[in-house]
Amino acid sequence: MATRGYPEGHVFYRTLTRALPLATRGEGCWIHGEDGRSWLDAVGGAFVASLGHGNAHVARAIGDQAGTLAYLNGTQFTHAPVEKLSAELARRAPGDLSHCYYLGSGSEAVEAALKLARQYWVESGHSEKTKVLSLAPGYHGNTMLALSASGRPRYQTFFHSWLVSVPRVPAPYPYRCECAGQSAECPVCSGAALERAIVDEGSGTVAAFIAEPVGGSSTGASVPRTEYWRNVREICDRHGVLWIADEVLSGAGRTGTWSALEPYDAVPDILTMGKGITGGYVPLSVVIAPQRIVDVIAGGSGSLLHAQTFSHHPVACAAALATLEEIDRQELLPRVARMGTLLHERLKVLSTHMHVGDVRGRGLLAGIELVANTATRQPFARSEKVAEKFAQAAFDAGLVVWPNTGHANGVDGDLVMLAPPFIVSESEIDEIVRRFQKALSAI
């Protein structure tokens, strides 16, 4: 049987309304199915499989660590993989970010980062700092605090009564901004809107501002103006607000630099990474904080109040270390920058399509915005489900992409995202574009 779906078997599937093919093997940028079909994985599943599928070095490191010492509790022991990985991540992190706390998913890292910010303020005598600000659109995960911080109304649909209030600041999103990202004076694109929101809330009450340095799925690889994050840094300093950079999607090399913030020359107070940090071989995420923040906890209560059984996991840390080794050995960061330039060059051909409003991004991260009218940027009505139909047409053409909706006005908006593995070849990029064009003919 080539596909499986609810209510067959006993899996509570991620999607209950359509059958899924049974995948049996991955190899580089390709996923092979039970029925002999193959798909070109142009988005690493979900911006995750950065090394490609079937990397023997990472698989061996996982097996070796599992055979040596699979689990330790982080309150009882430390171990070589976590020590080595933390030294490596600190060496690569921007500015004074130096101490690494590990979780499993991006949502958990965001929860922990926000709790760290709150605990820092309470333990340094500022318990009045309770509020978190975030960008809209924006995404930080699906657990309750991360979901509260996410400017993505659809995900919140059934859970409003459980969420905390997180005031929103409009995201720098050139394609949907009146200034098209061209004006240094634009309140949204300059960061002035953040300062206004902090002042309106009362800066003494604001604990943290969380944001994605380069837009992820919510704004489809939108790249803020060059001065944006330096302005944010100054605003947060001026008002005593901790800036949390959520690099769960954009980090770990995806945009051609280890941190997507590197080209901005701005250093956040706390940084999160996840997704590609182990190339997807096992789940791992990390919160990286500077000593000046960790010192306050060390000198106060003595630990971050965010105990999780599987944090600092030896096998996951060994997988991340092996991933870093592969990134260095294969010189993948300069390769992402090089192949990213090629990808964006080749994607230009899509712009001539009557429903492609914008093609954008950085490195091997690209967003293609589909609109009803390219002159007015009018989105399709949500009822047309254009992004979903496109993603299905692409899948049928053997191409895995990431569809996204709702960014234009909270309901409408159709985006398609690409984030191929860092090892993608030139001919595979051509194949991605060819299959993309084929799927476009379906809308």
Element (H, E) at 244: strand 242-247
- Alpha helices of 302-385 — where are they, by DSSP H? 314-329, 332-347
Closest to 369 (Cα-Cα) out of 390, 384, 400, 345? 390
Distance CA 157, CA 261 (A): 32
The residue (of 282 and 397) whose beta carbon lies closer to ligand PLP is 282
Shortest separation between residue 145's beta carbon and ligand PLP, angstroms: 12
Pairing of strands 20-21, 270-273: unpaired
Name the residue nearer to ligand PLP (CB basis): 242 or 433.
242
CA distance 33 to 82: 35
Name the minimum Å distance from CB 248 to ligand PLP.
3
User: Is-contact 148 164, C-beta < 8 A?
Assistant: yes
Report the C-alpha gap between 303 and 288 in whole angstroms.
15
Residue (92 or 254) nearer to ligand PLP, CB: 254
CB of 104 to ligand PLP, least distance (A): 8
Closest contact distance (angstroms) between CB of 118 and ligand PLP is: 18
- How many CB atoms within 10 Å of residue 351? 12
Closer Cβ to ligand PLP, 141 or 181, answer by number: 141
Distance CA 26, CA 32 (A): 6
Whichever of 249 and 296 has its CB closer to ligand PLP, that residue is 249
**Which of 248, 271 has the CB closer to ligand PLP?**
248
Q: What residue type is assigned to position 391 of the chain?
A: A
The least distance separating ligand PLP from the CB of residue 283, rounded to whole angstroms, comes to 7
52 vs 216, beta carbon nearer ligand PLP: 216
Shortest gap between Cβ of 216 and ligand PLP (angstroms)?
Answer: 4
Pairwise CA distance, residues 90 & 73, whole Å: 22
Cβ closest to ligand PLP, residue 217 vs residue 222: 217
* Of residues 98 and 404, the one with the C-beta less far from ligand PLP: 404
The H-or-E segment that residue 234 falls in is helix 228-239
The residue whose Cβ lies closest to ligand PLP is: 106
> CB 141 → ligand PLP: shortest distance, Å?
3
Between β-strands 38-41 and 399-400, what pairing exists: parallel, antiparallel or unpaired? parallel
Q: Backbone phi, then psi, for 404, in 5-degree steps?
A: -145, 145
Which two three-digit tokens encode residue 157?
A: 């649909």
Q: Which one, 221 or 440, has the nearer CB to ligand PLP?
A: 221
**Torsion angle (degrees, nearest 10) of CA 104, 77, 62, 400:** 10
Cβ 153 vs Cβ 410: under 8 Å: yes
Rounded CA separation 100/83 (Å): 10
Contact by Cβ (8 Å): 337, 362: no
Minimum CB separation from ligand PLP for residue 438, in Å?
27
In the complex, the smallest distance separating the C-beta of residue 377 from ligand PLP, rounded to whole angstroms, is 24
- Tokens matching residue 131: 């509020």
Question: What is the contact surface with ligand PLP in residues (CB under 6 A)?
Answer: 105-107, 110, 139-141, 212, 216-217, 246, 248-249, 274
**Rounded to the nearest whole angstrom, what is the least distance from the CB of residue 372 to ligand PLP in the complex?**
27
Q: Cβ of residue 88: shortest distance to ligand PLP, in angstroms?
A: 21
Strand 168-170, strand 131-136: pairing? parallel
Q: What single-letter DSSP state applies at residue 44?
A: I
Q: How far is CA 273 from CA 140, 285, 304, 381, in A?
A: 11, 6, 18, 34
* Calpha distance 258→281 (Å, rounded): 19
Q: Which is nearer to ligand PLP, 118 or 355 (CB)?
A: 118
